[in-house]
Amino acid sequence: MKKSTKYVCSLAVAVIAVALLFALDANKTGAGMLISILQKSAILAVVAVSMNLLNGFTGLFSLGQAGFMSIGAYITAILTIPVKNLDGVYYMSGIAPWLRALKEGMEASPSWLQAIYPFLAMIVGALVAAGFAALIGIPVLRLKSDYLAIATLGFSEIIRAIFSSPQMDQITNGSYGLNKVPTFPSVFGLPSLFTPFIVAAVSIALLVLLINSTYGRAFKAIREDEIAAEAMGINLFRHKEWSFVISSFFTAIAGGLLAMFMRSIEAKTFSITLTYDILLIVVIGGLGSVTGSVLSAFIVTASKEWWLRFFDQPLIIGGWQVPLFRTGFRMVIFSLLLMIVVLFYRQGLMGNKEFTWDGLARFFRKLGKKPAQAKGGAEG
């Protein structure tokens, strides 16, 4: 395909996506479920691409994403909850005096500065998560394979335990969690519905630029062969540390988005199950494929939250109730579908390849040739 054709196709897809979002914004009541699924998919896509940077492009088996998400989510929630709602949130032990003073000072700032506070809160949460990643990466990144996975998983559980501990009641509200978190702010005058998609698009674009840079090529070299990469002059620990820190940064950005999406958070939201769900999205999409992670995030989320809910409802045909159609059967069907995908697509939906218009054109050409070849064989 010509470059001009590719640009036209990309522009057409972008226009269609924007038009769809405007249509959904105009019909929030009727399309509430679809909006929620799309927003959650966009948030999980950021986490999946961040995890893929570690697991797929650098070859580091890390399972600490839920912990870094919790850091971003809690800091974003704490910094964005309005002062007037603090007493209703911290109703057990109250809020720390220094934190209340900080928030009162924030609300006394100019209105233009208050408008960008939610984004600054996400960035602060991401920087704190990146700082923790840099510290724990010093001892942890010297481990390999399963040992690295266990260590990062342990860190995730430690963070979750700290946030829910009674000693943190005046900051994180302990086991009671945080609620009354403001929803997504508006960006560039667009409806708030656009915000998670804009932040996700910018985050993924930055990760793609990183992957295609010299650092990204160094990450891939480490994934393929650490000894050869070191022989070429690549500092293994420094590049692993950078990959770990950058992945944690964008994971925390997604955590902040998740706090705004859910409007309330608690420690159990960021359990091991969340990390496994993200890992599932990465594996289904394909290790080493950004577009695979994004596509998988939307497919997996829509399947779990929407398409398969039909199996959770009782089904009666001619007065006879079909067995197994009950609450929970949806996840059985979802597991079976995952098994089928893994059996037939062992490297994931995209493998280690990326979506291109040329690849899509080749795919359709192959589909067109097969019927023609079959017809020619029959005539012969």
Region of 325 on the Ramachandran plot (φ > 0 left; ψ -120 to 50 alpha; else beta): beta
Query: How far from each other are the two terminal CA atoms of the chain, in whole angstroms?
Result: 33
Section 268-272 average pLDDT: 88
Checking if the pLDDT of 53 tops 90, the result is yes
What does 231-290 look like in DSSP terms, one character per residue? Answer: HTT--HHHHHHHHHHHHHHHHHHHHHHHHHHHS-B-GGGGSHHHHHHHHHHHHHH-TT-H
* Cα–Cα dist 31/35, whole Å: 6
For residue 183, is pLDDT > 80?
yes
Residues sharing a CB contact under 8 Å with residue 82, sequence separation 6 or more, in sequence order: 107, 180, 182
- If you average pLDDT over residues 120-139, what whole number do you get? 94
Single-letter code of the amino acid located at 193: L
Q: What is the DSSP letter of 141?
A: T
Q: How confident is the model at residue 376 (pLDDT cuts 50, 70, 90)?
A: low
| pLDDT of the residue at 374 | 53
pTM of the model: 0.89
Q: Which residues pair with 321 in a beta bridge?
A: 316
Q: Which of 91, 92, 87 shows the shortest CA–CA distance to 103?
A: 87
CA dihedral over 142, 146, 150, 155, signed as positive or negative: positive
Find out whether 251 and 258 touch, Cβ atoms under 8 Å.
no
> In the prediction, which pLDDT does 357 show?
79
Instruction: State pLDDT tens for residues 148-181.
Output: 889 999 999 999 999 999 888 999 988 888 999 9
Residue matched to tokens 């995952």: 338
Q: Does some domain include residue 338? A: no
Q: What percent of the chain has pLDDT above 90?
A: 44
Q: Is residue 294 part of a domain?
A: no
CA dihedral angle for residue 133, residue 137, residue 139, residue 140, rounded to 10 degrees: 100
The DSSP output letter for 348 is -
Domain-embedded: residue 52 = yes
- Strand segments, DSSP code E, in 127-255 are none
**Are the CB atoms for 287 and 52 separated by under 8 Å?**
yes
Write out pLDDT tens, residues 247-266.
Answer: 999 999 999 999 999 999 99
Which residue spans within 146-257 are E strands per DSSP? none
Question: Is 322 part of a structural domain of the chain?
Answer: no
Task: Evaluate whether residue 24 is within a structural domain.
Answer: no
For residues 326 and 313, give the distance between their C-alpha atoms in angstroms, rounded to a whole number.
5
pLDDT tens, residue by residue, 302-311: 888 877 776 7
For Cα atoms 71, 76, 82, give the angle at the middle one, nearest 5 degrees.
145
Q: Is 330's pLDDT higher than 60?
A: yes
Lowest mean pLDDT among 149-163, 225-239, 286-300, 327-341: 327-341
pLDDT digit string (tens) for 75-103?
999 999 999 999 889 988 888 999 999 98
Other beta carbons within 10 angstroms of residue 209's beta carbon come to 10
The residue range of the domain holding 208 is: 31-285
- Overall number of domains in the chain: 1
Structural domain includes residue 329: no
Q: Determine the Cα–Cα distance for residues 72 and 260; give it in Å rounded to an integer.
A: 11
Residue 128, in any domain of the structure: yes
Which residues fall within 8 angstroms of residue 110, CB to CB, at 6 or more apart? none
Residue 65 main-chain phi, psi, to 5 deg: -60, -40
Is residue 68 in some structural domain? yes
Q: Is the pLDDT of residue 231 over 60?
A: yes
CA proximity to 187, closest of 262, 251, 257, 109: 257
> Looking at residue 353, what is its pLDDT?
84
